[in-house]
Amino acid sequence: MGNFIVSNSTELLCLPVENLLYVKADGNYSLFVTKDKVEHLFCIQLGKVEQEMNKQLGANGNKLIRIGKSLIINRDYIYLIDVAKQKLVLSDCSGVSYTLEASREALKSLKDYIESTIK
């Protein structure tokens, strides 16, 4: 999928997309988490991150999914979607695991979408 580059006036972050686990919004910041457990808080809004991903990756970015207002995840690392408990577990199945929260409807949509791609 290639690299995703995001920058502001003082920083530039370059990430191989296949290593990106998720991006989480935190106000005007976005927390980038990679599969090697590296977390980097970057001063950029999540909406802007999504725009840049669309711009740079286009259709090649279809592994990345925006979930609600505060998450972008890499679908390759989805381990568990628990709609009832509103939990989403991302894991590389080799020791890295993150449990995230999202709305039930969004998780249901995500579940349906993942199911639709395997049929």
Partner 1 sequence: MREIEENEIRVIGSDSPQSKKWLLPLLCAVAIGIIILVVMLVKPNGTSEQISTEEPTIFEPQDEICTPKAQHKFSKYTGNESFIEKLDTIINDVSLSIFIPHNLIPSLCVGQPSKQDSSLMMCAQAADIRADNKKIVGAFVLKGKPIAWGLSKHGYCAIINDTVIVGRSENSPLFEMATEKQGYFFRQYALVDSCRLVENNLKNKALRKALCQRCGETFIATSANDESMHDFSLALVDLGVENAIALDGGKFSFGWYVSNNTTIDFNEPLKRTIYPNETYIVWRKNQ
Q: Tell me which residues touch partner 1 (CB under 8 A).
A: 47, 50-51, 53-54, 57-69, 72, 103-106, 108-110, 112-113
Please report how close the Cβ of residue 119 comes to partner 1 at its closest, in angstroms: 15
Say if residues 76 and 64 touch (Cβ distance below 8 Å): no
Q: Between 35 and 53, whose beta carbon lies closer to partner 1?
A: 53
Please report how close the Cβ of residue 41 comes to partner 1 at its closest, in angstroms: 21
Distance CA 72, CA 81 (A): 15
Q: Between 35 and 106, whose beta carbon lies closer to partner 1?
A: 106
What are the structure tokens assigned to 79, written together?
Answer: 């381990």
Residue 80 β-bridge partners: 89
Please report how close the Cβ of residue 22 comes to partner 1 at its closest, in angstroms: 12
Backbone angles phi, psi at 55, to 5 degrees: -70, -45
Distance CA 89, CA 97 (A): 7
Say if residues 35 and 22 touch (Cβ distance below 8 Å): no
Q: Between 10 and 85, whose beta carbon lies closer to partner 1?
A: 85
Please report how close the Cβ of residue 10 comes to partner 1 at its closest, in angstroms: 25
